[in-house]
Amino acid sequence: MTLYMIGIGLNDEKDITVKGFEAIKRCDEVYLETYTSQLKCEYSALEKYYGKKIVLVDRDIVENKAEETILKNAKDKNVAFLVIGDILAATTHVDIFLRARKENINVEFIHNASVLSAVSIVGLELYKYGKTTSMPFPQKSYRPETAYSVIENNLKFGLHTLVLLDLDPENKKYMKISEAIEFLFDIEKRHGKGIITPTTKCIGCVRLGSPEKKIFVASTQELLKKEYENDVQCLIIPGTLHFIEEEMLEYWKKNS
């Protein structure tokens, strides 16, 4: 039988592709991975629309117990493994694919939108982004400075940086744009390289891929003062801008 790895997009139950929807209909078991991202709609809306019971699976099940659950079922049933956004964007999904193949399970991929292309809506050319980075929730003794050095390197080459902000969807915790800027200011204070100053222009995005998305274009100090809802967020530090990129940022400045 087949393990269908299906991206379900970024917002709600109707962001699935027709191909994905038809595949789910053929499945006896449907799993949804709940720890790397979060939709705007409730899980019950998915169940209702797909007409299937959905088993929610956390990191422990996917990474440590898939052999006894998902993969065991996929040996003699059609099984759907749903991923918010596109499939395989996270290492944890590559890993489950490889483990399925080791067990000789047939795997089919059904792609969907990911934040990495949905960010195109901001209007910065996708080819002009450098390495993507993320900003993890601060740990007690561990304060990673990766985002800062990635931004620094990208800026050297005039490239934009997408900073994905940490999220803990199972506990409904989302890092806010203002927190991310505070962390960057902190790192800047220690390094003093002038990479992130109060007047650095940046773009804060909430819930990309959704009709309810918010795109704020402003200086870091202005974005720091805003109130943000409790939802998936990211921050973009633009590099060198082409005139059509400038025009699009002006548009969002007036229409955020």
Nearest to 252 by CA among 203, 208, 207: 203
Question: Quick check: 15 binds a second copy (CB under 8 A)?
Answer: yes
CB nearer to a second copy: give 162 or 224. 162
> With CB under 8 A, what is the number of residues at the site for a second copy?
56
Closest distance to a second copy from the beta carbon of 27 (Å)? 16
| 102 CB-near residues (< 8 Å, 6+ apart) | none
Binding of a second copy by 16 (CB under 8 A) = yes
Residue 56 contacts a second copy per CB under 8 A: no
CA 31 to chain centre: 19
**According to the binding rule CB under 8 A, does residue 247 interact with a second copy?**
yes
Tell me the C-alpha distance between 80 and 90, whole Å.
Answer: 17
Separation CA 203–CA 180 (nearest Å): 12
Give yes or no for residue 157 binding a second copy (CB under 8 A).
yes
CA torsion sign for 17, 22, 25, 31 is negative
- Which parts of 173-232 interact with a second copy (CB under 8 A)? 209, 211
Contacts of 243 (CB under 8 A, 6+ apart): none
| Residue 48 lies near a second copy (rule: CB under 8 A) | no
19 binds a second copy (CB under 8 A): yes
Which of 48, 39, 62, 42 is CA-nearest to residue 115? 39
Q: Is 60 left (phi over 0), alpha (psi -120 to 50) or beta?
A: alpha
Q: Mask: binding to a second copy, 113-142, rule CB under 8 A, as x and -? A: xx-xxx-xx-x-xxxxxxxxxx--------
Is the Cβ of residue 16 or residue 105 nearer to a second copy in the bound state?
16
Which positions lie near a second copy, rule CB under 8 A? 7, 9-10, 12-19, 21-22, 85-89, 91, 94-95, 98, 101, 108-109, 111-114, 116-118, 120-121, 123, 125-134, 153, 157, 159, 209, 211, 242, 244, 247-248, 251, 255
